[in-house]
Amino acid sequence: MFSSERVLEKYERCCLVHSPQQIVFPEPDKCKLTFDSHRCEHPFDFYYVADFESILKPDDDNDPTLVNTHETAGFCLHRMTPHENYQTPPITYSGLNAIEKFLEHIFAESEKINEIMSVQRPIKPLEKVERYAHEMDTTCRICKSPFTESNPKYHHHNHVSGDYLFAACKDCNLKLKPKVCHHGYVVVCLFHNLASFDSAIILKNFDKNTWNACTQTARRHSTTSKPYCWTRKKPCSSKSKTSPSRIHFSF
């Protein structure tokens, strides 16, 4: 309904410049949401948990609006992995230059993880029970598609331990390989209270001459609300066999 003929004529002049529109609904067999990030259903071989500790330092700038300033006093960084031979005790530090020490430790850890993940260990010989279970599987454990001549059965195994896991089709077997980007293997670091506090500490002490930061790349494979990808510009230690371009962490 239009309040007057003038309003209708004005509407027609604006409306008729556009082509007709029609709502098209999807086909019944294509209107359901599906989950295909099956890699997220399985645990990481390696991830880190970290937390910063700060102290309140009296302000010395004689600014009446400031009472105290937060100063990072220490941190804790712990490598988490189900592989017992790669488990390490937590790294703790309390003292001066806590952020610099944290970055040194976490990128030293990233070099170690890259070296471990770069070794593609073959599958171990299957036990009798595993062999029987693999032979009896008729569908892919991930996508549930049946095994056929055109969709053969593969042994999906852990590339760190070499242990057999389950039967999978070719596509799923490839998709479940460790996540890799152009910087190297992706290792997630979970921070306590990252979005509200710790991310500000990291970015405040960010040195553009030493580190690259990227938030968009990290958001694709991090579950935190404020993810960050950092890569180190300066060369790795001479003892490391890992290229500096492979160092990659998402916070």
Percentage of the residues of the chain whose pLDDT score is greater than 90: 25
Tell me the helices (H) and strands (E) count for the chain, helix number first: 6, 11
Q: What is the pLDDT of residue 107?
A: 83
Does the pLDDT of residue 183 top 80, yes or no? Answer: no
Residue 185 parent element (H or E): strand 184-185
Does the pLDDT of residue 202 top 70, yes or no? Answer: yes
Whether residues 52 and 93 fall in one domain: yes
Residue 26 in any domain: the answer is no
Between residues 46 and 56, the one the model is more confident about? 46
With 0.85 as the threshold, say if the pTM is over it.
no
Q: What is the pLDDT of residue 53?
A: 87
pLDDT in tens, 100-110: 888 888 888 88
Whether residues 71 and 195 fall in one domain: yes
The stretch 171-192 carries a mean pLDDT of 80
Q: In the sheet where 68-80 sits, what is the strand order?
A: 91-94, 68-80, 47-58, 187-191, 249-250, 229-232, 211-214
Whether residues 52 and 66 fall in one domain: yes
Q: Report residue 224's pLDDT band, with 50, 70 and 90 as the boundaries.
A: very low
Write the DSSP symbol of residue 197.
I
Calpha distance 230→130 (Å, rounded): 40
The listed range with the strongest mean pLDDT (57-66, 159-168, 190-199) is 159-168
Strands 187-191 and 249-250: parallel
The stretch 161-170 carries a mean pLDDT of 92
Is 172 exposed, middle or buried (CB count within 10 Å of its CB: 0-12, 13-18, 19+)?
A: buried
**Cβ 193 vs Cβ 215: under 8 Å:** no
Residue 206 in any domain: the answer is yes
> In 3D, which of 243, 241, 223, 216 has the Cα closest to residue 232?
243
The listed range with the strongest mean pLDDT (8-17, 66-75, 89-98, 187-196) is 89-98
Calpha distance 112→114 (Å, rounded): 5
Does the pLDDT of residue 213 top 80, yes or no? Answer: no
Q: What is the pLDDT of residue 87?
A: 93
pLDDT in tens, 55-99: 887 776 666 676 777 788 899 999 999 999 999 999 999 988 888
Average pLDDT, whole number, for the chain? Answer: 78
Residue 133 in any domain: the answer is yes
| Domain containing residue 152: CATH number | 3.40.1800.10
pLDDT in tens, 105-154: 888 888 888 888 888 889 999 999 999 999 999 999 988 899 998 999 99
Cα angle 173, 177, 178 (rounded to 5 degrees) comes to 165
Whether residues 57 and 45 fall in one domain: yes
Does the pLDDT of residue 43 top 80, yes or no? Answer: yes
Range of the domain at 148: 128-175
**DSSP codes joined into one string, 106-166:** HHHHHHHHHHHHHS-PPPPPPPHHHHHHHHH--B-TTT-PBP-SSS--EEEE-TTT--EEE
> In 3D, which of 191, 189, 150, 154 has the Cα closest to residue 174?
154
Sign of torsion over alpha carbons 163, 167, 171, 175: negative
Q: What's the number of domains the chain is made of? A: 2
CA–CA distances in Å: residue 166 to residues 119, 174, 182: 21, 13, 29
**Residues pairing with 185 in the sheet:** 180
The listed range with the strongest mean pLDDT (20-29, 120-129, 218-227) is 120-129
Q: Which of 156, 175, 194 is the last residue of a domain?
A: 175
Residue 35 in any domain: the answer is no
